[in-house]
Structures are given as structure tokens and as C-alpha cells.
Amino acid sequence: PAVLVNPLRPALLAAARSPRLERTVSRLGLTRRVVDRFVPGESEASVVAAAEELLASGRFVSVDHLGEDTTDAAQADATVAAYLSLLRAWADLPVPAGTAVPALEVSLKLSALGQSLPGDGEAVALANARTICRAADAAGVWVNVDAEDHTTTDSTLAVVRALREDHPTVATVLQAYLHRTEDDCRALSGPGSRVRLCKGAYAEPASVAFQSGEEVDASYRRCLEVLVRGQGYPMVASHDPAMISAAEALVAGTGRGADDYEFQMLYGIRDAEQRRLVVQGHHVRVYTPYGDQWYGYFMRRLAERPANLAFFLRSLVSR
């Protein structure tokens, strides 16, 4: 079957980067009714409660403090402080016993930690990420470094390599839509290497990225095969039934145990499928974002699926 591509995807992804539209959309006062479908809330308390519910249902979580493209060091410091506070709050959370895999993870965006600051942005982001990694290690929480647009890929992978010298479980994300990713998968498929494989959420030019759904899916399957046949810990991040069944077949065929890979989906998307995978004996981690800077994340979700956009437009009309 033809892969359904949202015709408004390029426009929505461009809008995701527009501060002017961000102000307009924020003024619509949507937070409660629409954004909550994808974001459990703006406060730390709301994400701690959401994490508790997910854990109680047998799922794991990866929490992201929303924010990206930080333009001043003070904002990056505030992001670090938010993660440290969350890690302290998690100390009281009842975490399921008896799994070899940490149920709690934090996901970081290096651009929120200072990566794009002029001059020494990469060093600032590395130092900030180290601070979070030290606290996470002490708390028994995993850390993942998210993938952003392709201009940051080399810098992000360099920061992850540096972090892994002291914190070997630090994971990163590879995006199947990039031409380079199959090679990156090979380079990152060694023992202990944790890689989240996703399709990719940004607007990227044809010079670096596959443009059609079919090509992205084919790349995803090739990358999945490299990671699952490799020696690392693959994290299959997709809502796509075709990608999920390809992963189920590969892990069964390679004899991987339940603690040797995981599925991942976004908060609020395909809840029943998340639960089905748990019942089947797979680990499922739910990427759960919180905070008031939800605009870019929210717009990328709208760009992914005509149905998400329709949901948003309907809610505007029925306000």
C-alpha cells in the first residue's frame, strides 16, 4: 500500500521553527485541550504523575523537558536545573523490581543545553549533559541524547562519544531518513551501545535525506537489521505497524531476550498497541515530554499525520 504522506508536512515543519507563529498558537490558549493529548502537562508534578501511571501499567518511561534551540546560557542552566529537580523527585517513585533494565530514563536535547550558542556551544552542551549524567547515574536512571536536525548530527554524536567515556550506558538516536544513518548504525552496533532508531521528525533536504515514505521505510528496515543483528541494545521507536512487526520478527529470529532490546512510542500515541506489546512480553518505553515550551514538539506531531492535524483543527472549531 502507498505510504500516506501528510501534504502539509513541509509547511508545518517550517511553522515549527517560526517564533512568530509560536506566539500566535500559544495565544490560542490550547494547552489544556489539545496539547495535553501529547504532553501530560507543563509542571514537574504532572510528568511525575504520568510516569507513575505508565510504570503501574508495566511500561517504562523516558522523560524529556521540553525546549530546544536555546539562545542564552541562562536558559540552558535552567534546563539542567529542571532535570536535576526531576531526578530528585523520582527518588520517591515506586519502580518495578526484577527487571535488568532501568525503568526510568531522561531524554536530553543538546540544543536545549547550549549546543547552538555561538563560540563554544558544543562544549557548554557537553558540560551541561555531564552534570545531568552524573546525577542520573547516581539515581540509577538511564540517559538518552535525542537527535535534532541534520546540521547537528556530527556534533551530537561527538558529544555522545565523550559522555560515554564516563557514562557507558548513554544512548543516542539515529534517524532512518538520513542517508548516513545505515553507516552510523554499523558504527554504533557494538557491545553496550544503546541506539534509538526512529524515522526522523525534521524537514531535511534531498541532499542528506530520503524524501519518500517508501525510501524512509526501506532505510528503517535496513538500519533495524544492522542494530538487531549487532551486539548493542536496539530501541525500536516507531508507531508504524510494519516497522513493529519487522522488529518482532527480527528479535525472535536472532534469539534476543526481553532485556536485550525495547520498543518505544510517544506519549498519547497508540496506547493500546503499547499495552499489547507489554502483554506479549516486550519492554515498552514511552517518551513523555513536559514543560511550557511544547510548541515545536507539538507542531512536529501535527506534521506527522493528517489525523493529528484534523484533530487539532476540529478542536479549534468546537472551542
Asked whether 176 and 199 are in contact (CB, 8 A), the reply is yes
Q: Which stretch binds ligand FAD (CB under 6 A): 36-44, 50-58, 129-137, 237-245?
A: 237-245
Among 142, 287, 298, 312, binds ligand FAD (CB under 6 A): 287
Q: Which stretch binds ligand FAD (CB under 6 A): 24-32, 33-41, 87-95, 235-243?
A: 235-243
Nearer to ligand FAD, 3 or 81 (CB): 3
Residues in the interface with ligand FAD (CB under 6 A) total 25
Asked whether 60 and 105 are in contact (CB, 8 A), the reply is yes
HSE of 57, CA atoms in CB hemisphere, 13 A: 18
Among 60, 90, 142, 202, binds ligand FAD (CB under 6 A): 202
Report the distance separating Cα 241 and Cα 285, nearest Å.
16
Among 9, 17, 221, 239, binds ligand FAD (CB under 6 A): 239
Does residue 111 touch ligand FAD according to CB under 6 A? no
- Of 146, 149, 184, 217, which residue is the catalytic one? 146
Residue (of 216, 214, 145, 211) closest to 175 by Cα position: 216
Is residue 196 among the annotated active site residues? yes
Is residue 64 among the annotated active site residues? no
Q: Which stretch binds ligand FAD (CB under 6 A): 9-17, 33-41, 239-247, 250-258?
A: 239-247
HSE of 300, CA atoms in CB hemisphere, 13 A: 16
**Bridge partners of residue 178, in order along the sequence:** 209
Among 59, 167, 199, 283, binds ligand FAD (CB under 6 A): 199
For residues 7-43, one letter each, b for 16 or more C-beta atoms within 10 angstroms of the residue's C-beta and e for the rest, the string is: eebeebbebbbeeeebeebeeeebeeebbebbbbbbe
Nearer to ligand FAD, 246 or 265 (CB): 265
Q: How far is the CB of 199 from ligand FAD (least distance, A)?
A: 4
Report the distance separating Cα 304 and Cα 273, nearest Å.
18
Residue (of 164, 219, 261) closest to 3 by Cα position: 219
Give the residue numbers annotated as catalytic, written as ranges. Answer: 146, 196
